[in-house]
Structure 1
Amino acid sequence: MVKGLFPTVCAAIVMALPVYAQSSRITEDMAAFKTTVNGQTLAVQRAGASCPPACVQPMQAAPGVGTIGELEVLDFLDIFVSDAKGLLVDSRLPDGYGRGTIPGAVNVPSSTLRPDNPYRDDLLNALGVRTGDFSGAFDLVLFGAGPDDPEAAAAVRSLLDAGYPATKLKYYRGGMAAWEALGLSLAAGQ
């Protein structure tokens, strides 16, 4: 690209973006982003849902837990869920799940996996955990509302804290926002 053209193109793109009434932080620690490219300041701000709680989430929910995309979700449904070896977990609250979810998903809100839930051991048992033995635990793919929803990442961390093996967990960061943006089918949550 011709030197000096990059900032002009970037400025044109930014000016063409719609202006939102509500601005938001990018993460809890980052209100906006600025850097210099070819001597020009490049700024990124965020508009939309309020952060916190709806902050942009990191690509990796936790060390050792893989992040996957839509095609990997489909593979997981075909290989693990259809064979009763895994569960696709919608970590949103029941009202979000009830409005529509990824076909084959079950609803396990992230709050139910927190250590302060007195029924968490019963839930872990339903996921195949037997008194601290995770060898028969289901493989899980967890997702939430989208890349700015902290619930799926929080659910992953709660499972890891309970002893769930990272090798049995995957994080679909795109969640419902990416699934719907791609026009993929939805199922009615039950």
Structure 2
Amino acid sequence: MIDYKTATKAELLAEFERLKKLSNDDGFFTKKEFLHFPQIAMPGEAPIAVSSGKMDGKTWLIILTNHRVIFLDKGIFFGLKQVALDLSHISSVGGETKFLSGEITIAADGHTYTVENVSKKGVVPFTNMVKQAIEELKQSKEQSTNTQQNAASNDPFEQLERLASLKEKGIITEEEFQAQKAKILG
């Protein structure tokens, strides 16, 4: 993986070519958008896939990263339009192929973004990669939550508090409380 913040133009273009091949996309007129990515990248953020097409009559580059989906349009001579959707906020991802091209639709936070004239052979790979990135993020969060819960459940003070609560509610007897307390305190 390259460091996008310090990469040369040649390194960025080589990476763009790699991502286009991975996504089966032609990257039609979106090189300048990809070259802009290092300026908006968050620390530790790296592109996973790219796709390109038309949205609202303009050519956009869609960049899937390990944190979000970014829509970029640099304009022909000046200007920048950018939409960034955190992976955790995406509610649906869909694709449709037509006779010559396809479209990708991503919904998040009550908005739906549809990019048309996408490379027909790139629709399914790109949408699958977005779905996979979302699933990996969910699994990562679940593992983190489980680790925190396990750490909390192993805390002897919390175990004693739960045990005392059970005793106060009459669920366990004083003898059971003392026996479990002795086990916890070791």
Could you say which TM-score interval applies, normalised by the shorter chain?
under 0.3
Report which structure shows greater RCO (CA 8 Å, sep ≥6): 1
The answer to which structure has the higher helix fraction is 2
Bigger CA radius of gyration: 2
Q: Report the TM-score, using the length of structure 1 for normalisation.
A: 0.21
Query: What is the TM-score of this pair, normalised by structure 2?
Result: 0.21
